[in-house]
Structure 1
Amino acid sequence: MSPLPSGKATPLPHIQTTFESETSAEEQTRKRRQDAVKRTFVRCWESYKTRAWMSDEIAPISGGARNPFGGWAATLVDSLDTLWIMGLRQDFGLAVAAAANISFETATIDEVNVFETNIRYLGGFLSAYDLSGDKRLLRKAKEVGDMLYAAFDTPNRLPITRWRMREVAQAQGASQVAHDNVLLAEMGSFSMEFTRLSILTGDPKWFDAAQRISDIFEAQQDSTALPGMWPLVVNAKDGVFNQGDSFTLGAMADSTYEYLPKTYALSGGRLGGYKTMYEKAMAAAGQQNFFRPMVPDEGDILVSAMVNIRRGENGKSRVELDPEGQHLVCFVGGMLAVASKLFDLPDHLRKAQKLVDGCIWTYKALPLGIMPETFHMIPCPSTTGSCPWNETLWKTEILRKHGVDTQDTGQAHKIIAQKRLPKGFTNIGDTRYILRPEAIESVFVLYRTTGQKYLLDAAWAMFEAIEKNTRTELANAALADITVEAGKSAPKIDSMESFWMGETLKYFYLIFSEPDHVNLDEYVFNTEAHPFRIWGA
């Protein structure tokens, strides 16, 4: 059993910048915006209370209740710390009393997603406890931790990430084996929650479980097809994390990388291996995954994409960029901003700025002012130097992207009209907006680390666009297509995932709070936006 690291915490550098005093007008604007965000949250919370109480989610159009995460009141647990942060103490007390009675002995689903349960439920209870000190929340965190720990009961102690809990219980001790095809994020996103639970309880078993995974990542990091990064899919059954040809910071890999600097910070600098792994990973990603897109205003922005290793007949391999952007990968700017301060890496802050500006640019480029789930753009020859706009190249690439074997610009115009492609985009593969938080997350973090005031206006523009287009009579709904013309209504989906209230609205609220409210020198956010107190802070 690996014990928690001993010794005093390493004094961490300040992550937050020193903010100038705001004028009276700036304070009034900030508070007005913050109040608007809070009203949106309260409207959604009241609808959840009256129509879907103790269910995982409310259907924001029909008003029904859904249970995709086990029926353990995901929205309630995800919203606990948001209630506290927004000062809604009466509702916080109501929610804690209800949460204390959630039973994790049964589930409404056959297969428990261990990753989602960890970040939403364990993360939600730990954060709410760190903020409030209510011991009922720590008891629930331990309950969830004990349940998740059973998924690690395999021959090599690596977890079953899609876990059939009911079958295991009925089998009464039958053996479990981890799967041989596991998404990277589902294997590498336990370190924050498990470490914090061990710190708070004094029981090292959860830290030990996460550290075993970390040790494999560290040992195999330099032997992958793209040294420094790990492939999108790993083999937990055999403990092989270095075989595979696709590498990304985006969907299905994201929080493995996000947790590297954050776990270092959470431990008070006691776990130096996470710093080393982060620096190696970003050296590779900065060189291979970040690209500058060709855009009409020639903005100096960056997008993070996937790369694939292609192997030729001569045995040599080459790195091939797939220039697809994702809303989800917008978290990277915030990660780099935090790490730049933690590890004194000024270049990472410069990259963070360009990545965040890239997400802001994409929001502004779409007619509703909202970013799509996924999209393709044209990479510039390099991430530095000039990148002039080339209308002909844009149209040629659109034709190629859509499999049209012609140079007929008329065909390009038809595709642009049919797909409603703004200049700079060669395709929008997924036109949805599902109330995601990653863009405002990084805008918030960059603001707290730099104090640049334009980020406040960028955040407000995002919020106004999202609220205007997603609002329903009851709450807020995901959008099926954000490429509709400005002034037209985007078709809504009867879905509001718990992260809308647990993440998106929390970050919008915090960017318009006083900078000391949930200070980044005292707390570090998990991938579900749950702030954990830094060990020793």
Structure 2
Amino acid sequence: MAFLRFRRYRVYVFAAVFFLFLVFRLSSNSQLNAHHTTIYKGYSAPPDGESSAGRGSSSSSSHDSARGNFGAGTPAQDAPPSLGSPDVSAPKVPAEKEPEEVAAPAPQSMHIPQLHTSLEIKGSYGLPTGPRSQKPTAPQQTDVAASAPKEDDAFDSNRVHQVNPPATHQETAVPVVADATAKAKPILSTSVIHWMKMAEHFPIPEESLILLPTGSPMPIPKIQHKFAAEPDATREIRESRLASVRGEMQHAWSGYRTYAWTHDELAPVSKGFRDPFCGWAASLVDALDTLWIMGMHDEFDEAYEAVKDIDFTTTPFRSEIPVFETIIRYLGGLIAAYDVSGGEKGKYPALLSKAVELAEILMGVFDTPNRMPILYYHWKPAFYSQPKTASSSVSVAELGSMSMEFTRLAQLTGHSKYYDAIARITDAFEDWQNRVNGTAIAGIFPEHVDASGCNRTAAAIQEAENASKLAKAQVAAANDIESEPVGYKPSQPNSDPMVAQDKVAIAKTMPPDLEFRVNSATKPGEPATGEFRKVDDVASASVGKRDVGDAVSMGTAPKDATAQVAVAPDVGKTPSGSKIMTGSGVQHANKPVSAPIAANGKVAKFDCIPQNLTAGGYGMQTYSMGGSQDSTYEYFPKAMHEKVVDAVKKYLLYRPLIKDDRDILFSAKVSSRDGTDKDMSYNYEITHLTCFLGGMFAMGGRIFNRPEDVEIGGKLADGCVWAYEAMPMGIMPEGSIITPCANMTNCSWNQTAWYEKLDPNIAWRTKQLLDYEERMKTWAKERDEIEELQRARAEELERERQATAKEALANEPSSPADEVGLAPGPETPVGTANIGKRAVGGADKTPVTAADTVAINEKEKVLQGDLDLNADAAAVPKAAAPAKKPLPELVIPPMPVRPETHEEFVQNRIERDNLVPGFVSMNDRRYILRPEAIESVWYMYRITGDPSWQEKGWRMFQAVIHATRTEYGHSAIADVLTDPKDEPVQVDNMESFWFAETLKYFYLLFATPDVISLDDYVLNTEAHPFKRPT
């Protein structure tokens, strides 16, 4: 039986065995387990073979450890070893071993068809099918495409991108190779999305590029002071301070290297890390030139090797690239490190190649109709493959702070496209600055800018006008009495199945040449009528009806038609007389263009009314030298610079009201209500970001021979020094408001003026006090009246009580027997007259007094009321006494609360907010390791040679280190108003500019003047020095 059963199912058994064999063979040839690409290609851990915090050499752990925005690792497993003492240099990284060559696996007998990748077929997955190394000896690397994808796959005949966004879970596959030479058989990974270079939607012809200026640069006057030889005692002090700054740099770098290696930032309190800037090792790249300047060459070499492994084409941390921060930190850091380490003559060429790699990615932000950049760049192909415009609300600083990096890159590479990208932005700002009534304050720009290039207001007005014309045409057509009105005709067949069945039934019963027609009612309220008509009659009757689209398409428009319904123009056609902004920024009239294709496959509408840069946002226009504008003004050429400083001196500079006679200046924030300088409001702020202004004024004054500007720069820089010294912890806050002087030249301490700023409602508070005095008089009068009434009522109650007592006494029975209603008679035995009054202990009971009787009667009344709660409400006592009207309650109202006086309010506010004399408020009490104040101090020292700036800077350095130093680095603090005796609240954050700027400026302040001389280098807004061309 078993044999027969096997014979019955032997076909299925053989099929199952064959299927299992196929599965086994397929699995042995599958490459689905290929390693994923990582941001860091072939990264080698620091010494001792330990992996960095969350960034090991194994790509499988890379994204697991850095999945969130913040993570922490242990030194033993996730971080390089500690450098130990801050004074000990980091050990050199041992040379990486050459990867062992792995023999290719033997060819398989089964042929596996090669599948197309997702780069070859749009909207599909690419599965790797090439041979896989069984024992990879080196981390796999992402092969960055050096050229654009095939135009046949990515672009149509008009070179307009048509790739639709992929499905939700689709990711672009990129080639992955085991080493730099293995390119014949790419292993594809679908786990990581990479940026790819694509053709631009709004390209600029080669002949239209703005070329980089050539020839010898114009001579610039000497900027630095000519320093004399310093005495030995002065040199010893300077070198001692220099060593202290270098030691703090080593201390912070050791913490970063141990707990946040190749991550963006160290969390110096919790020993963790953060990746707010795409996870491309922001602190490492930002610190490169600082390491070199401080002579930390071993640490520089180690960081250089890590930089080579950064993959700028992908990031798991952000879907958009913050363009401004990426340019000043990464691109500026790479270029500066290349310059200071020798440039073309140095031995670090990868710094320039990585800068070019990043710049090629960032060039995509300029692919807009007016070439203004997209400042938050969605780098994934699904997004950036679609045409975009710049934002209608961007900050001046983000838009205008790219010129130095791209200009220097163009100088180093010889490619004018980098210079063209930023030259157009500078030209746009120059045009705006020279425009009549361009801004409320001539020379400077509002905080928010509309860079879209589209005048949406004019477009809306034009659209409304077109809609009005269309409406008028429709009304004219509806009022045409010569035509018969046509009722509603649905464009789609009726979806009701019953209606469809009725139509079929009618069609079967009707003659083929007849059609049933419904006629409208002739009079209101009457029913509609129906009739059968021949098809020819129906066709002839329909001629002349205003049926939009039918008459035009059939060519049967009535000859006597006096009005036609306007039809919207086809998408992609150019309206007559309109202008379209092309990629080169040239306006072409009445010229059809091939517009970009949007994600839905239709032509994208970019035929807006063009406009240049203008104020963005809504409401008032705000002007300042603060964080939203600062760095743009640092880069302006002479003509533009002079207009800026003239406007700042006229509208923004003010002198603060302080206790000493120190002549210092700050820059205010001004808001224009009407877009002019006629109606402006002032906010006398002191912000750390504005402290750069002193250095800008001083250097511009020296270059353009404006001695007054150098003096103003010194007052601005000294103002920030004073702000440091005025705070309890010796560090100025992020933001605050202070009282201004009424006179710039004569400004002695005026406590009354300060109090008026602290309490601007003095008049209201005075009125409140006057009202309080009136209310007190009224209250006192009411109190006296109520007290008099209370005394009168008390006397009346006393009289009533006495009268009641007398009445009760008069009604008191003559004997105890009368009281209880027992009259002794002859029938009563002797000795029973007092029955019921049981004398205690045999003694006679005390006689009841009149007062006792009154009390007993009152209690009886209360008891009777309690017992009669359930009695009939309608029952009325036979001898009910008239109820007395209750007397009103006499209560003295509460005494009015006395409001604070002006002086009391001010004193309470000063104590509550811990305000320093002169300050009105502390908007932001933090210190986040910012460099702007010491930046201006350094510029003033190098320009004037005054050693007092070194003393001011040293006091600032001591205060900063005392408040921010942690065991593993330096942390931002929450409140600079904390008592110095107390421990500051550290917020566990150390941004990359601590390496790039703050410590660098402190170091350069005590270095010899030839180190990063202002006559040889120019620094960008992130303090990255670029070599000046000669």
TM range, smaller chain: over 0.9
Unaligned runs of 5+ in 1: 261-273
Secondary structure of the residue aligned to 1:195 is helix
Q: Report if the CA contact (8 A) 1:332-1:355 is conserved.
A: yes
Distance in 1, Cα, partners of 2:624 & 2:761 = 21
**What does residue 60 of structure 1 align with?**
268
* TM-score of the superposed pair, with normalisation by structure 2: 0.49
**What does residue 613 of structure 2 align with?**
241
1:476-511 per-position Cα deviation (integer Å, ceiling 9, x unaligned):
000100011232222110100000011000000000
Residues 1:403 and 1:495: Cα distance change in structure 2 (over 3 Å): farther
**What does residue 69 of structure 1 align with?**
277
Offset of residue 287 of structure 1: 0.9
Residues 1:242 and 1:347: Cα distance change in structure 2 (over 3 Å): farther
Offset of residue 400 of structure 1: 2.5
- Which residue identity does 1:309 align to in structure 2? S
Distance in 1, Cα, partners of 2:715 & 2:923 = 23
Please state if 1:381 is matched with 2:742.
yes
* TM-score of the superposed pair, with normalisation by structure 1: 0.94
Distance in 2, Cα, partners of 1:507 & 1:101 = 29
Give matches, 1:117-196, under 5 Å.
117-132=326-341, 133=343, 134-166=348-380, 169-171=381-383, 173-196=385-408
Distance in 2, Cα, partners of 1:51 & 1:300 = 45
Aligned positions, number? 518
Q: Name which of 297, 302, 309 aligns with 2:672.
A: 309
1:134-164 per-position Cα deviation (integer Å, ceiling 9, x unaligned):
2110101111111111111111111100111
Please state if 1:291 is matched with 2:654.
yes
**What does residue 266 of structure 1 align with?**
none
- Which residue identity does 1:213 align to in structure 2? I
Distance in 1, Cα, partners of 2:215 & 2:320 = 40
Q: Name which of 598, 606, 628 aligns with 1:252.
A: 628
Residues 1:403 and 1:14: Cα distance change in structure 2 (over 3 Å): farther
Q: Name which of 1010, 1017, 1026 aligns with 1:516.
A: 1010
**What does residue 221 of structure 2 align with?**
13
**What does residue 560 of structure 2 align with?**
none
Secondary structure of the residue aligned to 2:433 is helix
**What does residue 946 of structure 2 align with?**
452
Unaligned runs of 5+ in 2: 1-208, 454-610, 767-900
- Which residue identity does 1:131 align to in structure 2? V
Distance in 1, Cα, partners of 2:925 & 2:761 = 17
Q: Name which of 410, 435, 444 aligns with 1:198.
A: 410
Distance in 2, Cα, partners of 1:148 & 1:17 = 38
Distance in 1, Cα, partners of 2:412 & 2:753 = 57
Q: Report if the CA contact (8 A) 2:441-2:677 is conserved.
A: no
Offset of residue 248 of structure 1: 1.0
Offset of residue 6 of structure 1: 2.1
Distance in 2, Cα, partners of 1:368 & 1:348 = 31
1:33-69 per-position Cα deviation (integer Å, ceiling 9, x unaligned):
1111111110110111111111000101001011000
Residues 1:401 and 1:360: Cα distance change in structure 2 (over 3 Å): farther
Q: Report if the CA contact (8 A) 2:284-2:303 is conserved.
A: yes
- Which residue identity does 1:241 align to in structure 2? L
Distance in 2, Cα, partners of 1:341 & 1:139 = 35
**What does residue 440 of structure 2 align with?**
225
Distance in 2, Cα, partners of 1:180 & 1:503 = 31
Offset of residue 404 of structure 1: 8.6
Distance in 1, Cα, partners of 2:981 & 2:689 = 26
Residues 1:316 and 1:60: Cα distance change in structure 2 (over 3 Å): closer
**What does residue 491 of structure 2 align with?**
none
Distance in 1, Cα, partners of 2:761 & 2:717 = 26
Distance in 1, Cα, partners of 2:385 & 2:314 = 17
- Which residue identity does 2:732 align to in structure 1? M
**What does residue 271 of structure 1 align with?**
none
Distance in 2, Cα, partners of 1:9 & 1:184 = 28
**What does residue 937 of structure 2 align with?**
443
**What does residue 467 of structure 2 align with?**
none
**What does residue 109 of structure 1 align with?**
318
Q: Report if the CA contact (8 A) 2:756-2:762 is conserved.
A: no
Distance in 2, Cα, partners of 1:258 & 1:343 = 14
Please state if 1:495 is matched with 2:495.
no
Secondary structure of the residue aligned to 1:524 is strand
Residues 1:403 and 1:136: Cα distance change in structure 2 (over 3 Å): farther
Offset of residue 425 of structure 1: 0.7
Distance in 1, Cα, partners of 2:265 & 2:764 = 43
Q: Report if the CA contact (8 A) 1:399-1:405 is conserved.
A: no
Q: Name which of 715, 722, 725 aligns with 1:354.
A: 715
Offset of residue 172 of structure 1: 6.7
Offset of residue 320 of structure 1: 2.4
- Which residue identity does 1:294 align to in structure 2? L
Distance in 1, Cα, partners of 2:372 & 2:237 = 50
1:438-490 per-position Cα deviation (integer Å, ceiling 9, x unaligned):
00000001000001111111000000000001011110000100011232222
1:92-134 per-position Cα deviation (integer Å, ceiling 9, x unaligned):
0110111011000112212211000000000000000001122
- Which residue identity does 1:76 align to in structure 2? L
- Which residue identity does 2:449 align to in structure 1? V
**What does residue 277 of structure 1 align with?**
640
**What does residue 391 of structure 1 align with?**
751
1:377-415 per-position Cα deviation (integer Å, ceiling 9, x unaligned):
1111233x2101111211121122999956521111111
Please state if 1:423 is matched with 2:917.
yes
Residues 1:178 and 1:426: Cα distance change in structure 2 (over 3 Å): same
Q: Report if the CA contact (8 A) 2:762-2:902 is conserved.
A: no
**What does residue 250 of structure 2 align with?**
42
Q: Report if the CA contact (8 A) 1:225-1:243 is conserved.
A: no
Offset of residue 240 of structure 1: 4.0
Offset of residue 317 of structure 1: 2.7
**What does residue 539 of structure 2 align with?**
none
Q: Report if the CA contact (8 A) 2:971-2:987 is conserved.
A: yes
**Sequence identity of aligned pairs in percent?**
44
Distance in 2, Cα, partners of 1:8 & 1:162 = 36
Please state if 1:318 is matched with 2:689.
no
Point out the more displaced range, 215-224 or 401-410: 401-410
Residues 1:331 and 1:404: Cα distance change in structure 2 (over 3 Å): farther
Secondary structure of the residue aligned to 2:1009 is coil
- Which residue identity does 2:757 align to in structure 1? E
Residues 1:171 and 1:491: Cα distance change in structure 2 (over 3 Å): closer
Offset of residue 171 of structure 1: 4.2
**What does residue 231 of structure 2 align with?**
23
Distance in 2, Cα, partners of 1:400 & 1:535 = 55
**What does residue 482 of structure 1 align with?**
976
Distance in 2, Cα, partners of 1:491 & 1:443 = 27
Q: Report if the CA contact (8 A) 1:247-1:307 is conserved.
A: yes
1:151-186 per-position Cα deviation (integer Å, ceiling 9, x unaligned):
1111111110011112xx124721122111101101
Offset of residue 311 of structure 1: 2.9
Residues 1:465 and 1:316: Cα distance change in structure 2 (over 3 Å): closer
- Which residue identity does 1:446 align to in structure 2? M
Secondary structure of the residue aligned to 1:400 is coil
**What does residue 270 of structure 1 align with?**
none
Please state if 1:408 is matched with 2:622.
no
Q: Report if the CA contact (8 A) 1:15-1:520 is conserved.
A: yes
Structure with the larger RCO, 1 or 2 (CA within 8 Å, 6+ apart): 1
The structure with more radius of gyration: 2
- Which residue identity does 2:1015 align to in structure 1? D
Secondary structure of the residue aligned to 2:733 is coil
Greater helix percent: which structure?
Answer: 1
Q: Report if the CA contact (8 A) 2:440-2:677 is conserved.
A: no
Residues 1:90 and 1:401: Cα distance change in structure 2 (over 3 Å): farther
Q: Name which of 984, 987, 999 aligns with 1:505.
A: 999
**What does residue 80 of structure 1 align with?**
288
Q: Report if the CA contact (8 A) 1:234-1:240 is conserved.
A: no
RMSD: 1.6
